[in-house]
């Protein structure tokens, strides 16, 4: 090992250990579900993105098993070589159908989709205008494109309009936003973004990773939630959250958008195709997400109940509708202490601190699922009640 590089890495890790602390992965045993096994204990799981509670659905798992038996595990080739199977096309068609788009293209993750979409669609004469709180993968994907870049203050439509006006000379303008922002659980003001896009002849790209399957009567996402189906030009999303949680991402849009990506998007072309068992599981997960609207009703009821319970206990909860519930503690050590105390009381939820959220906005992020029983939510609320003394003493 090169000593110069080694020294620098060790130095930086030491610094990080004393400032923000080093990240340590929590090792979980057993399958994903409303409870999780951690270090021999069973915790109520308020930390996963399994919003519809179908990651462990028997039909989803059986589809994967059947595909494993019939097609094997991996295809050891890209989509453009001998990696494509019927199930990839089926999954692309069911994604397009779910979100109401002409076509869709699969990636191995939404991170990949976001890395591959901008460079393929835009060039140096174009401008990308991006919300400052957009997901890391959008930020990186935008960096990979040769288009001009502008960042607008989070949800600030006046600032967005200023950026649009500044980029009036560009060939295309593309407004980029998360549909639901993962730290605050707030929903982008799509109707206003869409209006601004119309008046400045801009296109609109929405990353609906936290919304597909979750928002809208049929689970089509943020656009459906606002009655704006068809109003988004380019939609990106994940199969790793509400849609079964296996893995995979996608871009959906008009035929020409998707065909251009098929021809030119590097993370689509230069990588191994999605393993058929994952694709088959996702097809079934989408059928369930569409076919059981009761799951979304259950999710909404669970979310409303838990939001109210936390508020009644005296917690400062950011308002909203989404199952992401930010419990504001506004102190780094307080957020960490509350998360640790919750774990001792049988609840898994994570503390988020700088640099993930701004300093002073430290919080516990709670994520509710349709799979949580009333008993599990009551148990979790009781744990929050017991740890509230930490907040009172702070």
Tokens of 207: 């990353």
CB of 283 to ligand PLP, least distance (A): 17
Tokens of 122: 């835009």
3-state secondary structure (DSSP) of residue 184: coil
Tokens of 26: 């929590």
Judged by CB under 6 A, the residue of 135, 194, 296, 343 near ligand PLP is 135
Q: Which is nearer to ligand PLP, 103 or 207 (CB)?
A: 207
Q: What angle do CA 40, 28, 339 make, to 5 degrees?
A: 85
Closest among 54, 133, 31, 52 to 303, alpha carbons compared: 52
For position 178 contacting ligand PLP by CB under 6 A, the verdict is yes
Count the residues in the chain. 394
Q: Which is nearer to ligand PLP, 249 or 331 (CB)?
A: 249
Q: Which is nearer to ligand PLP, 102 or 140 (CB)?
A: 140
Q: How far apart are CA 350 and CA 40, in angstroms?
A: 19
3-state secondary structure (DSSP) of residue 104: strand
Choose one: 108-116, 164-172, 285-293, 377-385; the region binding ligand PLP (CB under 6 A). Answer: 108-116
CB of 115 to ligand PLP, least distance (A): 10
For position 110 contacting ligand PLP by CB under 6 A, the verdict is yes
Q: Which is nearer to ligand PLP, 213 or 346 (CB)?
A: 213
Catalytic (active site) residue 333: no
The residue annotated as part of the active site, out of 210, 322, 369, 372, is: 210
- The count of C-alpha atoms lying within 13 angstroms of the C-alpha of 153, restricted to the half-sphere facing its C-beta, is 6
Q: Which string of DSSP letters, residue by residue, matches 188-203?
A: P-HHHHHHHHHHTTEE
Q: Which is nearer to ligand PLP, 85 or 135 (CB)?
A: 135
- The count of C-alpha atoms lying within 13 angstroms of the C-alpha of 99, restricted to the half-sphere facing its C-beta, is 35
Q: Binding to ligand PLP (CB under 6 A): which residues in 7-46?
A: none
**242: CB partners within 8 A, 6+ apart:** 49, 50, 51, 52, 54, 212, 213, 214, 219, 289
Tokens of 330: 């506004």
Q: Which is nearer to ligand PLP, 48 or 209 (CB)?
A: 209
Q: How far apart are CA 166 and CA 174, in angstroms?
A: 13
Q: Which helix (H) or strand (E) holds 148?
A: strand 148-152
- If binding means CB under 6 A, how many residues of this protein chain bind ligand PLP? 13
Buried b (16+ CB within 10 A) or exposed e, 369-390: bbbbeeebbebbbebbbbbbee
Contact 364, 390 (CB under 8 A): no
Judged by CB under 6 A, the residue of 63, 137, 302, 376 near ligand PLP is 137
CB of 128 to ligand PLP, least distance (A): 16
The residue annotated as part of the active site, out of 135, 194, 241, 322, is: 241
Choose one: 107-115, 293-301, 315-323, 352-360; the region binding ligand PLP (CB under 6 A). Answer: 107-115
Q: In what order do the strands lie in the sheet with 234-238?
A: 103-107, 249-253, 234-238, 202-207, 173-178, 127-131, 148-152
Interface mask (CB under 6 A) for ligand PLP, residues 232-271, using x and -?
Answer: ------x-x--------x----------------------
For position 284 contacting ligand PLP by CB under 6 A, the verdict is no
Catalytic (active site) residue 210: yes
Q: In what order do the strands lie in the sheet with 41-45?
A: 28-29, 35-38, 41-45, 347-348
CB of 209 to ligand PLP, least distance (A): 3
Q: Which is nearer to ligand PLP, 235 or 370 (CB)?
A: 235
Residue 253 pairs with which residues in a beta bridge? 103, 234
The residue annotated as part of the active site, out of 48, 63, 137, 182, is: 182
For position 177 contacting ligand PLP by CB under 6 A, the verdict is no
For position 184 contacting ligand PLP by CB under 6 A, the verdict is no
Q: Binding to ligand PLP (CB under 6 A): which residues in 196-235?
A: 207, 209-210
Catalytic (active site) residue 199: no
Q: Mind telling me the catalytic residues? A: 182, 210, 241
Residues in touch with ligand PLP (CB under 6 A)? 109-111, 135, 137, 178, 182, 207, 209-210, 238, 240, 249
């Amino acid at each position: 090992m090169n000593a110069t590089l080694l020294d620098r890495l060790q130095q930086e890790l030491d610094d990080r250990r004393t400032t923000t602390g080093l990240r340590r992965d929590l090792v979980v045993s057993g399958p994903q579900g409303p409870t999780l096994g951690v270090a021999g204990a069973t915790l109520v799981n308020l930390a996963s993105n399994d919003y519809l509670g179908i990651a462990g659905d028997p039909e989803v798992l059986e589809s994967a098993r059947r595909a494993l038996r019939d097609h094997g595990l991996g295809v050891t080739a890209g989509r453009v070589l001998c990696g494509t199977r019927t199930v990839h096309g089926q999954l692309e068609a069911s994604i397009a159908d779910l979100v109401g788009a002409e076509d869709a293209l699969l990636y191995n993750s939404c991170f990949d989709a976001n890395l591959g979409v901008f460079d393929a669609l835009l060039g140096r004469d174009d401008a990308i205008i991006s919300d400052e709180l957009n997901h890391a993968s959008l930020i990186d994907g935008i960096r990979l494109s040769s288009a001009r870049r502008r960042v607008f203050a989070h949800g600030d439509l006046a600032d967005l309009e200023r950026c649009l006006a500044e980029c009036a000379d560009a060939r295309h303008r593309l407004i980029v936003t998360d549909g639901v922002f993962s730290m605050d659980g707030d929903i982008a003001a799509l109707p206003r973004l869409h209006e601004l896009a119309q008046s400045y002849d801009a296109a609109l790209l929405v990353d609906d990773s936290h919304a597909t399957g979750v928002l809208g009567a049929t689970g089509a996402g943020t656009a459906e939630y606002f009655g704006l189906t068809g109003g988004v030009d380019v939609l990106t999303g994940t199969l790793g959250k509400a849609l079964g949680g296996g893995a995979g991402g996608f871009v959906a849009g008009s035929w020409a958008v998707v065909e251009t990506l098929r021809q030119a998007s590097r993370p689509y072309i230069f990588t191994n195709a999605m393993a058929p068992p994952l694709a088959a599981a996702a097809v079934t997960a989408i059928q369930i997400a569409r076919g059981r609207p009761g799951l979304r009703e259950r999710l909404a009821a669970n979310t409303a109940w838990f939001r109210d319970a936390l508020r009644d206990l005296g917690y400062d909860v950011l308002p909203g509708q989404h199952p992401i519930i930010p419990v504001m503690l506004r102190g780094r050590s307080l957020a960490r202490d509350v998360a640790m105390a919750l774990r001792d009381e049988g609840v898994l939820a994570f503390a988020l601190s700088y640099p993930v959220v701004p300093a002073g906005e430290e919080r516990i992020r709670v994520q509710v699922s349709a799979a949580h029983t009333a008993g599990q939510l009551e148990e979790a609320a009781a744990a929050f009640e017991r740890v509230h003394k930490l907040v009172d003493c702070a």
